[in-house]
Amino acid sequence: MYAKCGSMEDAVRVFDKMPTRDVVSWNVIIAGHVKCGQAHEALDLFRQMQREGLQPDPVTFVGVLNACASVGALEEGRRAHEHIIQCGCESNKFVVNSLVDMYAKCGQLEDATRVFSKMPLHDVVSWNVIIAGHVTCGQGQKALELFQQMQQEGVQPDCITFVALLNACASVMVLGEGKRVHEQITQSPYESYLTVGNSLVDMYAKCGSMEDAVRVFEKMPLRDFVSWNVMISGYVKCGQEREALELFQQMQQEGLQPDSVTFVAVLNACALVGALKEGRRAHEHIIECGCELNKFVGSSLIDMYAKCGSLDDAVRVFNNMPLHDDVISWNALISGYVKGGQGQKALELFQQMRQEGLQPDSVTFVALLNACASVGALEEGRRVHEHIIQYGCESNKFVGSSLVDMYAKCGSMADAWRVFSEMPSWDVVSWTAMLQGFAMHGHGDEALEHFEYMCEEGIEVHSVAFICLLSACSHAGLVDEGLGYFDSMGSVYGICATAEHYTCIVDLLGRAGRLQEAEDMIHAMPYKLSAPVWKALLSACRIHGNVEMGERITEQVLKLDPDNASGYMLLSNIYAAAGNWDLSASVQRQRLERGVKKQPGRTWIEVNDEVHTFLVNDQDHPQMNEIHAALKTLTGQMHDAGFVPDTQFALHDVEEEKKVIHLCHHSEKLAIAFGLISTPPGTPLWIFKNLRVCGDCHTATKFIAKIVGRRIIVRDANRFHHFEDGVCSCVDYW
């Protein structure tokens, strides 16, 4: 009585006081512990029983095997099996069913099948055990085959069989098979069972058919919170987040109490659609229900706030968590910082995480590598790489691809290549990361070669690989090759060209001066015209000084994207290049009148483990005096070497002299000067810029690289420029 009422303490007290105990007393106390989830205590008691010289009977063995199954104690289970044979209990069908169940739950399907096939007769329980065992071990297909056999032997399925079968169909996502099982259920008495209904809804949702799931859900005579959870999670998995949120409201209206599973699904839905308001409401609800301390709910809250762009709230939830002993919540916050553009904060949090003794995992490392890649923090990236080796995560393929990506984006193609070539296996992501690296660095030939290798290796290339390939061709001026690949995309690789591919091709033709062809290409596009594709053509007009086309195209760009400054900037540049300063200035005035702000130029450089950021006309840096002095000396040396400042890029309605001064203070020049005075002679400089590098800075950097005899590597918004000995790797083609 005490055991069945769940009070094992009382049960044990009575048991201990019993003057004599027979096998029934032991069976009751062992089975009681198993039912209350105290399997280890049950196994201890079994050993004690043997020491006291009592002979176990079939009921004892069923209890012991259930205990082994629930905690996965395989060795203990095997010993029990030997014992069963010694006692001659192996023909007892309850014992054998428990044996099959124990082996299956311990992941030993072979042993389970061997015991099962030795049984002289299979009843529905034996079939249920072996079928469910296969489902738990991820062998859904085999489970369905076993069901066929069961029917051939003429055994009628019960509701447990149906639940196992539906789980099997859900796990291998076979909708057709699931519908057949559903049909059989409608002919059985189990259709109205709650567990069967829930499993049906779950099966349809996991097989991606929310329509069928809704139909079953609405017909259910009785629904509990599991039914609602399955529906809500199903909508989230199928990408119908709005429906998930509506259903959540309906659930509350019907007076059902959501639990942590519901909240996790709802928060995921909010995160995916950026529904901050709904997310906040769910948060209030979570506090009311007392679920805020659940660690899965907490991590989902952090993730939701971070993805909805409210990092402050994410931090607050994180700080309010009672324990930070779970890597998931750290990962959620670290990824949040990275996505919010606060890479430095993410790295600090990682330090803190390690100090608190937590083990980072592959998700942590991928987020950190993304942080390093986005700000170009090569040294920081190398340190993360060391940690990855230390924690043994380097063979994880996501980490490997992110490492390749990080090194490529931080400018070190040699490291990217080393990591790539040492990867234990490659997939389309790692190949594409490498391809993108070649493209960014303007290594056109290597990119093409790499792409061909990739195809030879039988990697199924996808749309992204072609974007990398085409932009590689564009950056390297490989026009014919690029056009050839563009043509073969559909015919050879069966990939539909998207607007992004067209933008690459327009860029490719435009840079090569084939402006008319580029414009024809835009009109031939089977998509709604978008601003990026026109902008690609507009920058080509700037490079080639085509004022007439530039004016026409600007109109198109401004029609599609009136709030973006780049259309105005490009046209103003085109006029300036043609020497028409009045028109150039009037375009800028128009921009200001319409309240369109341009993105400020920002450049940063990593020196001695610290990222230093410079803005145009920056005066804030503590070493600004030294930087200005260095720039002054450089300007003199550059002048002697024949450098003429190109004032068309200044774009300010001021007299010539001021323009020259202003140009001197473009943020990349400040960063380069700072790099020169803070590092030993000969050290290469790695510079990162948020916008495309201007023509004047490009020429100036070529001169500077030659004068100071250093390699200067600049990553601008588009690609890498490797400046060395007076030339740039882009061959002035960017």
Q: Which residues bind Zn ion (CB under 5 A)?
A: 666, 694, 697, 721, 728, 730
Nearest by Cα to 127 from 103, 102, 101:
101
Residue 730, classed as helix, strand or coil, is coil
The residue among 311 and 728 lying less far from Zn ion, judged by its C-beta, is 728
**Spatial contact of 575 and 606, defined as CB atoms under 8 Å apart:** no
Token output for 435 = 């391809």
Q: Alpha helices, DSSP H only, in 274-377?
A: 276-289, 295-307, 311-320, 327-339, 343-355, 362-375
CB hemisphere CA count around 562 (13 angstroms): 5
Local structure of residue 726 (DSSP, 8 states): T
- CA–CA distance, 89 with 647 (Å, rounded to integer): 96
606 forms beta bridges with 611
Quote the least distance from Cβ 452 to Zn ion, whole Å.
26
The neighbouring-strand residues paired with 688 are 604, 715
| Tokens coding 480 | 């014919």
Q: Which is nearer to Zn ion, 4 or 639 (CB)?
A: 639
Minimum CB separation from Zn ion for residue 729, in Å? 6
Q: Tell me the pairing of strands 685-689 and 712-715.
A: parallel
Q: What is the SS3 assignment for 587?
A: helix
DSSP H or E segment with residue 19: none
Q: Which is nearer to Zn ion, 397 or 692 (CB)?
A: 692
| 171 contacts 138 by C-beta, under 8 angstroms | yes
DSSP, residue by residue, 70-114: HHT-HHHHHHHHHHHHHTT-TT-HHHHHHHHHHHHHTT-HHHHHH
Strand order through the sheet with 727-728: 610-615, 602-607, 685-689, 712-715, 720-724, 727-728
Q: Which residues in 256-277 are b (16+ Cβ under 10 Å) and which e? A: bebbbbbbbbbbbbbbbbebbe
Question: Which residue number, 394 or 668, has a Cβ lying nearer to Zn ion?
Answer: 668
Please state at what angle helix 397-409 crosses helix 413-422, rounded to 10 degrees.
160
Q: How many CB atoms lie within 10 A of CB 362?
A: 19
Give the Cα-Cα-Cα angle 587, 589, 592 (nearest 5 degrees).
115
| CB of 92 or CB of 647, closer to Zn ion | 647
Name the helix (H) or strand (E) containing 614.
strand 610-615
Least distance to Zn ion, CB of residue 697, Å:
3
Supply the minimum distance, in Å, between the C-beta of residue 401 and Zn ion. Answer: 27
Q: Which residues fall within 8 angstroms of residue 317, CB to CB, at 6 or more apart?
A: 298, 301, 302, 305
What minimum distance in Å lies between the beta carbon of 708 and Zn ion?
17
- CB nearer to Zn ion: give 105 or 662: 662
Cα torsion angle, 720, 537, 593, 659, sign: positive
Nearer to Zn ion, 66 or 474 (CB): 474
**Are 721 and 713 spatial neighbours (Cβ–Cβ below 8 Å)?**
yes
CB-wise, 223 or 698, nearer to Zn ion? 698
- With respect to Zn ion, which residue has the nearer C-beta, 177 or 716? 716
In sequence order, what are the beta bridge partners of 713? Answer: 686, 722
- Candidates 312, 311, 253, 246; CA nearest to 273 is 246
Q: Which CB, 481 or 646, lies closer to Zn ion? A: 646
Token digits of residue 492: 């050879």
**DSSP-assigned beta bridge partners for residue 720:** 715
Nearer to Zn ion, 439 or 697 (CB): 697
> End-to-end CA distance of the chain, in Å?
82
- Tell me how far, at minimum, the Cβ of 383 lies from Zn ion, in Å: 29
d(CA 490, CA 486): 8
Residues β-bridged to residue 615: 602
Q: Are 54 and 25 in contact (CB under 8 A)?
A: no
For 175-224, list the strands marked E by DSSP.
Answer: none
Please, which residue, 159 or 634, has the CB nearer to Zn ion? 634
Q: Residue 158 burial (CB < 10 Å; 0-12/13-18/19+)? A: middle
Q: Give me the residues paired with residue 691 across strands.
A: none
Tokens of 465: 């690989």
Q: For Zn ion, which is the closer residue by CB, 233 or 412?
A: 412
Q: Which of 339, 342, 380, 335 has the alpha carbon at shortest distance from 361?
A: 335
Q: What is the closest distance, in whole angstroms, from the C-beta atom of residue 696 to Zn ion in the complex?
A: 5
Closer Cβ to Zn ion, 34 or 730, answer by number: 730
Of 245 and 439, which has the nearer Cβ to Zn ion? 439
Going by C-alpha positions, the residue among 596, 695, 714, 717 that lies closest to residue 651 is 695
CB 679 within 8 A of CB 685: yes
Q: How far is Cα 194 from Cα 225, in angstroms, rounded to an integer? A: 11
Minimum CB distance to Zn ion, residue 683 (Å): 20
The smaller minimum CB distance to Zn ion, of residues 373 and 694, is found at 694
Nearer to Zn ion, 13 or 658 (CB): 658
Toward Zn ion, which CB reaches closer, 612 or 662?
662
User: At which residue do the structure tokens 């402006």 appear?
Assistant: 515
